Chain A
Amino acid sequence: MSTPSRSNIPPAVSPASTAVETIPVALPPHGHALPPFPVNARRMLGNTQLRRNLGKATTTIRAKRAAVVSELPDWEELREAGRAIKEHTLAHLDEYLLQLERSVQRAGGQVHWARDAAEANEIVTGLVKGTGATRVVKVKSLTTDEIELNGALQAAGIEAVETDLAELIIQLAQEKSSHILVPAIHKNRAEIRELFERTIAQGQQLSDVPSELTAVARAHLRRTFLSSTVAISGANFAVAESGSIGVVESEGNGRMCLTLPQTLITVMGIEKVIPRFDDLAVFLQLLPRSSTGERMNPYTSIWTGVTPGDGPQAFHLVLLDNGRTHVLADATGRQALQCIRCSACLNICPVYERTGGHAYASVYPGPIGAILTPQLLGVEQASTLPFASSLCGACYEVCPVKINIPEVLLHLRGQVVRAKQHHTGVRGTLAQATPEAASMRTAAAILESPSRYEQAQRLAQIGQWPLARGKVIPSLPLGILSGWTAMRDLPALPSQTFRQWWRSRPEQRQEAPRD
């Protein structure tokens, strides 16, 4: 993993810029690498409005989450139960998926299996075309964002209308989501008013009052709901024993999509299955408290196949792999598949709070994205993401299903370095290695030997003289270390190391280090 040299990094967004700069975050075609996180992050850090919006939103939601979590005396037991159910399900995923298929079919639904994004898009497009519809309404769904379903539908002449308010805003602005749960977290109400006046409320003079803006979206969406015959959703949970699918939401748009149209198509990642209906009791406590900081979310829709005369009369479940079985094969990395997409890790993350989601250049941003994206795409395609963390551990502490995100980050860092070494042949000669790999290897060779280590300490004490200014080193010329002295002094090496002092103590016998 190499650090981009600072001269290659584009300048931060000028302070005069008011619009949030968006980076295209479509996952690249297979085999293509994502843009490096440090470069994206630098751009985002310069956006003062983004910093303000995100700082305010994450601080608020953190406090709400902490308050409702502290109400439950058995929160830790719930987390452990959630983790255990997910771990058990993933270990028997093959059986539970087949059970889910049988249950859905028994309840009158149809099940489709999609190996990757292309297959899933083909299946969904075909199903919509089969109904003759040219427009579909959509419940907010990360999985359909992951496979870029809207683009595939558009290419087939089908208009996809996002009905979650924030998702609608993103769609109207032709941007990408920057948060799992709050896709438009980077936009403020003035921007949304201006956007609506350009799109769904042309010719109207709106105010910045949130309720008025919501009413405009509501009127627009209501017309769309009543005239659409096909809906597409994701799934929060799918119960293997009953074939029941659950969607959890706040606005009621999901309920409209799931009940009004004649045809409902649900696209879900294979890791969303849970064994029993009773398991919902665990997750429906964990999810709302972790995500929106609510005791219970306003709308929980659970449906089982097709009910004659009530709701959609055709139901299709598309089960998506798209790299998930590859993740499942990794004993350490597979815990990323336990994720219930609550976004607590994003909200608590000090890196996410400052860069926003677009810096991660993926549908899955923040700490969970940093471990999920590289695994779904392959570590070499997202090699900077496992390093986009200070390993502070706050994400692990809040995760409702106890995903040890720092552990997986370290695991993936090892994979990135090994993959790089494999390519550059660093195991062979030092000359072929990247500067980072060469210095790491040299440091390891020194630190393995007490005598070499002491020699290196003495050399550094002597060698620092051109750089030291009194007790500090204000500037380092070395390429990979110059980032340090951009804003921080470095302490100059004291004239005596600890071990030199220890040896000089009268009570210590002079003892030379042994290898």
Chain B
Amino acid sequence: MRISLFITCFNDTLFPSVGRATVAVLERLGHTVDFPMAQTCCGQMHYNTGYQDEALPLIRHFVDVFESAEVIVTPSASCAGMVREIYPRAAREAGDDDLLRRIQTLSPRVFEFSELLVHRLGVEDVGAYFPHRLTYHPTCHSLRALKVGDAPLRLLRAVRGAELVDLEAASECCGFGGTFAIKNADVSLAMLSDKLRHVQDTRAEACVAVDTSCLMHIGGALSRTRSGMRTLHLAEVLASTARDMAR
């Protein structure tokens, strides 16, 4: 299958390793990855912070870039949720019927990474080997907006060598919330403290999730507190094989 990668501006700039891992997994499974160079940002930060007029050109740009793609994958549940949930609403608010129609044909072809593998491609074992103790944090958008269910966990359970530990109060928000982490920094930190406690209680080496934004929040505190733990995107775990171990 020819799969178009929407890397997201965030991963492109801050977490390129997640993009490389996504490509590695998909190519290992025999798919062709296409990366439209004209892509930029889905507009989520603008829209969710209230700058909805400013988000509209970004939404139009995304549709222009990706509407001819067969299947679109993104290693970000919140950006996938932006396209699937918010785009139709934004087009309706703008009164742009043509844009709405284009979005309605495009958005069913947009998948979050674990969703694509398990629900669209029907794969759980991607041949990964990752001999480490891990815990999994289900991010809010993956759980409640996209409803990916246990797809990421099924993928992780099939990873050879990996020891998966349950995270307490797993479904509770980590406190990131985009610009919430800045506008309401104190509440965000109070939420993060509890998430950190649960993550550290697992004695895992790494906390895994499908959103690097939440992971930057959790990982930023794990790093600051010299916790001896780190964060990994699911794709980075799945990209690791006995021959090519993830760093």
Contacts and interface: CB of A to CB of B under 8 A. Distances in A.
Task: Say whether A associates with B.
Answer: yes
Interface of A: 1, 3, 6, 9, 37-38, 41-42, 45, 350-351, 354-355, 386-394, 396-397, 407, 410, 413-418, 436-437, 440-441, 443-444, 447-450, 453, 457, 460, 472, 474, 480-481, 483-484, 486-491, 493-494, 496-503, 511-514
Contacts of B177: 389-392
B246 interface: no
B16 A497 contact: yes
B20 A480 contact: no
A3 B182 contact: yes
B75 to A, nearest CB: 10
Given A38-B184, A45-B187, A394-B173, A417 B7 contact: no
B186 A41 contact: yes
Most buried by A among B17, B49, B141: B49
Nearest to A59: B169
B189 A350 contact: no
B41 to A, nearest CB: 4
Interface in B22-68: 23, 35, 37-41, 43, 45-55, 57-58, 61
Nearest to B23: A502
Given A350-B175, A388-B184, A497-B12, A396 B50 contact: no
Contact of A38 (B7, B13, B35, B186): B186
A514 B54 contact: no
A365 B113 CA distance: 37
Nearest to B186: A42
A489 B223 contact: yes
B144 A460 contact: no
Interface in B80-99: 86, 89, 93
A513 B53 CA distance: 25
B183 interface: yes
B241 interface: no
Contact of A457 (B13, B49, B221): B13
Nearest to A420: B50
Interface residues of B, number: 69
Given A487-B221, A490-B220, A514-B38, A440 B191 contact: no
A247 B231 CA distance: 50
A450 B39 contact: yes
A472 B13 contact: no
B140 A393 contact: yes
Most buried by A among B93, B185, B221: B185
B197 interface: no
Nearest to A452: B40
Given A350-B191, A448-B40, A390 B223 contact: no
A301 B55 CA distance: 50
Contacts of A413: 48-50, 52
A1 B185 contact: no
A503 to B, nearest CB: 8
B14 interface: yes
B69 interface: no
26 contacts: A38-B185, A41-B186, A45-B187, A354-B191, A387-B180, A389-B180, A390-B176, A391-B140, A394-B173, A417-B52, A443-B46, A449-B40, A481-B182, A483-B185, A487-B221, A489-B221, A490-B216, A491-B14, A494-B14, A497-B12, A497-B16, A498-B13, A498-B19, A500-B16, A502-B35, A513-B37
Contacts of A387: 50, 179-180, 183-184
B205 to A, nearest CB: 17
A444 B186 contact: no
Contacts of B189: 486-487
A514 B37 CA distance: 8
A499 B58 contact: no
A350 B49 contact: no
Contact of B183 (A1, A350, A440, A497): A1
B200 interface: no
Most buried by B among A42, A351, A415, A513: A351
Contacts of A490: 216, 220
A414 B173 contact: no
Closest 10 CB pairs of A and B: A390-B177, A488-B220, A483-B185, A417-B50, A413-B50, A392-B173, A393-B144, A498-B19, A498-B16, A392-B140
Contacts of B39: 450
Given A410-B47, A498-B16, A450 B38 contact: yes
A436 to B, nearest CB: 8
A441 B54 CA distance: 7
A440 B53 CA distance: 11
A511 B34 CA distance: 13
Nearest to A487: B189
Nearest to A1: B50
A494 B10 CA distance: 12
A45 B220 contact: no
B191 to A, nearest CB: 5
B217 interface: yes
Contacts of A444: 46, 51, 54-55, 57-58
Given A38-B183, A440-B49, 13 more contacts: A1-B183, A396-B144, A410-B50, A417-B49, A444-B55, A450-B37, A460-B13, A483-B185, A486-B185, A487-B189, A488-B217, A489-B220, A499-B37
Contact of B188 (A6, A390, A491): A390
Contacts of B9: 447, 453
A499 B48 CA distance: 26
Contacts of A483: 181-183, 185, 188
A430 B227 CA distance: 42
A474 B224 CA distance: 8
A407 B92 CA distance: 13
A441 B53 CA distance: 10
B1 interface: no
Nearest to A383: B50
B167 interface: no
B245 interface: no
A416 B220 CA distance: 30
Interface in B174-218: 175-192, 216-217
B172 interface: yes
B50 A45 contact: no
Contacts of A453: 9, 40-41
Given A394-B144, A453-B40, A414 B50 contact: yes
Contact of B89 (A397, A407, A460, A502): A407
B4 to A, nearest CB: 12
A410 B40 CA distance: 22
Contact of A487 (B16, B93, B192): B192
A224 to B, nearest CB: 40
Contacts of A389: 177, 180
Nearest to A55: B194
